[in-house]
Amino acid sequence: MSDPMGFQPDPPVRVNTLAIGCIGAGMIMAECHLAAYKEAGFKVAAIASRTRAKAEAVATRWGIPKVHDTPEALIADPAIEVLDIAYPPDQQPALIHAALKQPHIKAILAQKPLALTLADAIALRDAAATAGKVLSVNQNMRYDQSMRVLKQILDRGELGEVVFAQIDMHAIPHWQGFLAGYDRLTLANMSVHHLDVLRFLFGEPEEITTRTRKDPRTGFDHSDGITVSTLRFASGVLAVSLEDVWSGPRAEGYENDQHITFRVEGTQGVAKGTIGWPTGAASTLTYASQKTTGGKWVTPTWDTMWFPQAFIGVMEQLQHAVATHTPPALSVADNVKTVALIEAGYKSIAEGRTVKLSEISTN
């Protein structure tokens, strides 16, 4: 939709013609990826998952013409041009390496976290560069409408010099069953959204301090539950990212108040808003600027949501990169820096200190 204030909450669909092969048939694929692709007119040619029956059910629901017995069989299908992976991160790297060897696959969209270790993420980055193929990572919060508009406000300089920012989450994620087998939980699988979007908004952080405690609700062993990270950016911005995955009791009759809010303060204005996914609503943003709104609070609006419409932009930026032979907006090289930030956060937890990003090598 057009915006009288000149904002673009959702990017245009410039390219949607490449044949997509989907690996995975869980919630994120069935409810987000495929819903978005249907709305945008993307061409989904095939699907595969760990069990054929589950893939067949999702294929029937979304009108996908071909179901493969295994992810490996789908990767070998010469009709597939773009591989879209929604699979556990311990199994994702092997699928990506296999796909990079296939001449018919032009691009790969991977889930975050890209890999369980920084070393594996770096190896994937370098393998994609050697193969000359586009590898992109699904950091979909960058395509949440409030984050896109906030970025546009910042790029226009409407808030002046940014001084402080925060993301304040009190919400209960759905932890996939495979996470019980890992030694890392919140920072790698929830905070990754927020830490990545802070990089998107403010550039590269110089240091991070992260503290954590276990989440009483999570029934499996985990090293990080509730997390609080403080970041200092090269620009001077001080930021806080809080992931309170406890949020409060979850019981019949208990009226929970799950929510995620954000706030950015600058020398000439403030922007604040909500992230809508905990309540199934659209995200919001309101801001006041001495430069452009006369100090009055104004509220851009949109009808779309993070889930599923943000996934349109994620796939579109990948197809556009293939069509124009330009780097994707969500490049694997950029994502390795987010993986490095997560690694620095875990180092901070383990050693009880502030960690400089210069300590974490991405070579």
Task: Give the largest Cα separation in the chain, rounded.
Answer: 60
CATH number of the domain at 19-140+312-329, please? 3.40.50.720
Q: Nearest to residue 312, comparing CAs of 25, 63, 39, 8?
A: 39
Asked whether the whole model's pTM tops 0.95, one would answer yes
Domain boundaries along the sequence of the chain: 19-140+312-329, 145-305+339-356
Q: Nearest to residue 272, comparing CAs of 282, 280, 281, 260?
A: 260
3-state helix, strand, coil in the chain (%, to 5): 35, 25, 40
Contact 283, 299 (CB under 8 A): no
Element (H, E) at 167: strand 162-170
Contact 82, 319 (CB under 8 A): yes
Class at the top of the CATH hierarchy for domain 145-305+339-356: alpha beta
In this structure, how many other beta carbons lie within 10 angstroms of the beta carbon of residue 73?
12
> At which residue do the structure tokens 């694997």 appear?
332
Q: Which two tokens stand for residue 112?
A: 């975050």
Report the DSSP beta bridge partners of residue 244: 170
| Residue 93 to residues 110, 122, 196, Cα–Cα distance (Å) | 9, 11, 20
Q: Which two tokens stand for residue 117?
A: 């270790």
Cα–Cα distance measured from residue 140 to residue 173, given in angstroms and rounded to the nearest whole number: 16
Q: Which two tokens stand for residue 262?
A: 């954000």
Q: Which two tokens stand for residue 357?
A: 């990003």
Report the DSSP beta bridge partners of residue 231: 208, 239
Q: Which two tokens stand for residue 203?
A: 């550039």
pLDDT given for residue 1 in this prediction: 42
pLDDT given for residue 211 in this prediction: 98
pLDDT given for residue 2 in this prediction: 45
Residue numbers in the chain where pLDDT is lower than 50? 1-2
Report the DSSP beta bridge partners of residue 227: 212, 243
Rg (C-alpha) for the chain, rounded Å, is: 20
Q: How many residues does the chain have?
A: 363
Cα–Cα–Cα angle for 22, 180, 55, nearest 5°? 25
- 242 three-state secondary structure: strand
pLDDT given for residue 158 in this prediction: 98
State phi, psi for 230 to the nearest 5 degrees: -110, 130
Contact 266, 161 (CB under 8 A): yes
Contact 99, 105 (CB under 8 A): yes
